[in-house]
Amino acid sequence: MSLKLSDYVANRLAEAGVRSVFGVSGGASLHLLHSVSEHPKIEIFCPHHEQAAAMAADGYARSTGGIGVTVATSGPGATNLVTGICGAFYDSVPMLCLTGQVSTFRSVGSTGARQIGFQETPIVDMCRQVTKYAVMLQDPEDIAFELDKCLHFAITGRAGPTLLDIPDNFQRAIIEPDKLKRWNPVEQGNNNVSKWQSGILPSQIQRALKQLNAAERPVVIAGWGIHLSQCEKEFYQFINKFKVPVVMTWAAADLLSADDQFYIGTFGTHGQRHANFAVQNADLILSLGSRLDTKSTGTPVNSFAREAKKIMVDVDAKEIKKFEYFELSLSLGIHCDLKDFFKIVARSDEAGKTRPDWFKQIAFWKSEFDSFDTMLRANSGGINPYLIIDKLFRDAPSETQFFLDTGSTLAWSMQAFQPDASKRIFHDFNNTAMGWALPACFGAWSCDKSKTYFCLSGDGSLMMNIQELATIQFHKMPLKLFVINNGGYAMIRQTQEQWLGSKYVASNEGTDLGFPSFEYLAAAFGFKYLRIQSIEDMDRNMAEIAGKDEACFVEIMIPNDARVIPQVKFGRPNEDMEPLLPRDIFERSMIVEPVLASRKN
């Protein structure tokens, strides 16, 4: 049976389980958009900016575990996707970007001209470094082959975004689906399919488990890969079997409840002080699904857990190998998917042991250092952001999905968050783009309207995608939007205090940055508006905010001088966070030898 190519694309997306598609109209993508919109199993959502469309697809993929799909036209429509593509690429989120391209009879081809067709842009070349696979369709008869390939690569191995650029004249071409060549990863020699050597992998994992059991001060690092591989249950079983304390990267901060006996907290340059002490004083680190970037290790990288054996389990061999460059030695690098890791662990006879002294030491650090940091956080006056955000997390209904924007809002949230089993946190943790949370939250809601959605954004981040308030209101999403207003870019001001003599350039409201009245803005977009200026305001209004089946815009007024406390200044190891502990307390609290820089104020 003959079929228009764009209709074939829509059918194939539905076959792959896609239920929401996010697109902005344009002349070179109209056939794709029309075919998707007419498919009975797919709902199309139309943000006002392609960047938001990509971020909505990202949010959809993170929340469902499926593939997020976005459609954009050629030229600026396609280039506007790039920030969203980067967020998915660096966080290994499966996404398919369908871009329209000018008709082949209007393309540059081999002429050497800069541009021939209107809005012609080489988006494939631009995106090759931030996609797993990017290609422009060269023949309508190749659509099944290339679309299969894009869908396959998006979810295989280390997941990520793919891009298929389809010329306008190909979109409306008539094809015969039954006669099309299909992509077969086995026949085509798919290099992205890892071939585990069944004899080697179990022996590596058994060796790791023996080292884990022999350790006296072990710490497990839980990373985003646990969520990506959908191994949350297996991870929990593993922790309870081996009885090891756990620190989380930000992307995995919601894996364990705060009252779990093995929970420590978040670690890294903007983590919690006691969690960093646990990592830096460990005698063994087992990293599961974290690439251990410099936000995790600190700088220099070889100061990370420097007296510990380090075992890293990761689906990407290059992430394991990179540490050779930084002169940091791994005791064991295990290149495998966590699904395989946990399957082999489940068959192992190794069992964990209790370590009461180690848990007691961690509890002591937490008590001592939390008191120190709590005292420092209270000094700025006005609303303490840690207290207000902690309250917001605690008082939110069960099953709430939190979408966080970057900057101080993110850092305060990740240090204040006390997770429980029913709440999830989402952010584009490695690209960490301003303005991500609003469209990503909408993307998640598009496919599951049963949950409560809280979006936490800074005043600066909100301005990056503020137009999507119209999209949210149009679709009657009962979003709870909390805008942490600290008068500009507080995280940048903190960096300027550390390195640039407290000269605030391009970071302060009223000097370099202009902001609207958020109250009037909320009214213009039809949001119920509330201003929070104290903890008591939050107490009085939280139940009403959470209970209303309508969109709410909540502006929380934070002092301009509120800062992220603690954080690691570049050049210091992760255990030595600012504000610095008194040197006598710091040295007395360390088990391993402090590095030279940490001995000095």
Asked if residue 470 is part of any domain, the answer here is: yes
For residue 469, tell me if it sits in a domain.
yes
Q: Is 192's pLDDT higher than 50?
A: no
Return the CATH number at 403: 3.40.50.970
- Asked if residue 291 is part of any domain, the answer here is yes
User: 430 with 490, same domain?
Assistant: yes
Show the domain range for 462: 382-557
Whether the per-residue pLDDT at 190 is higher than 60: the answer is no
Q: In what order do the strands lie in the sheet with 68-72?
A: 43-45, 20-23, 68-72, 95-101, 161-167, 133-136
pLDDT classification of 191: cutoffs 50, 70, 90: very low
The reply to whether 466 and 353 lie within a common domain is no
What distance in Å separates the CA atoms of residue 565 and residue 116, rounded to the nearest whole number?
Answer: 54
594 within some domain? no
Per-residue confidence at 195, pLDDT binned at 50, 70, 90? very low
Q: Say if residues 469 and 542 touch (Cβ distance below 8 Å).
A: no
Arithmetic mean of pLDDT over the chain:
94
pLDDT tens digits, 543-574: 888 888 999 999 999 999 999 999 999 989 99
Indicate whether 407 and 551 sit together in one domain. yes
Could you tell me if residue 190 is inside a domain? Answer: no
Residues 6+ apart with CB under 8 A from 348: 205, 206, 209
Residues 65 and 16 in one domain: yes
Judgement on whether residues 139 and 17 belong to the same structural domain of the protein = yes
Q: Is there a single domain that holds both residue 171 and residue 315? A: no
**Structural domains in the chain (count):** 3
Do 211 and 220 contact (CB within 8 A), yes or no?
A: no
Query: Residue 7 — very low, low, confident or very high, per pLDDT cuts 50/70/90?
Result: very high
Does 315 lie in the same domain as 224? yes
Domain holding 315: CATH number?
3.40.50.1220
514-536 confidence digits (pLDDT tens): 999 999 999 999 999 999 999 99
Of 521, 542, 557, which residue is a domain's last? 557
pLDDT at 47: 98
598 in any annotated domain: no
* Residues 70-96, mean pLDDT to the nearest whole number: 98
CA distances (Å), origin 470, targets 47, 49, 551: 8, 11, 11
pLDDT at 193: 40
Residue-level pLDDT at 547? 83
| Closest among 39, 68, 64, 44 to 56, alpha carbons compared | 68
Residues 275, 131 within the same domain: no
Q: Are 185 and 52 in contact (CB under 8 A)?
A: no
Q: Is the pLDDT of residue 8 over 70?
A: yes
CA atoms of 365 and 581, how far apart (whole Å): 12
Instruction: Tell me what pLDDT residue 598 has.
Output: 74
What pLDDT digit, counting tens, does each position of 200-220 carry? 899 999 999 999 999 999 999
Please name the residues in contact with 307: beta carbons below 8 A apart, sequence gap of 6 or more: 283, 592, 593
Q: Which of 364, 390, 407 is the last residue of a domain?
A: 364
Residue 305 has pLDDT above 60, yes or no: yes
Residue 545 and residue 442 share a domain: yes
Query: Is 152 found in the same domain as 277?
Result: no
* 186 found inside a domain: no
Distances (CA, A) of 3 to 7, 140, 475: 7, 12, 32
Q: pTM for the complete prediction?
A: 0.95
Pairwise CA distance, residues 470 & 257, whole Å: 35
Q: Are residues 359 and 403 in the same domain?
A: no
391 lies in some domain? yes
Buried (b) or exposed (e) across 241-276, using 16+ Cβ within 10 A?
A: ebbbbbbbbbbbbbbbeeebeebbbbbbbbbbbbbb
Are 410 and 491 in the same domain? Answer: yes
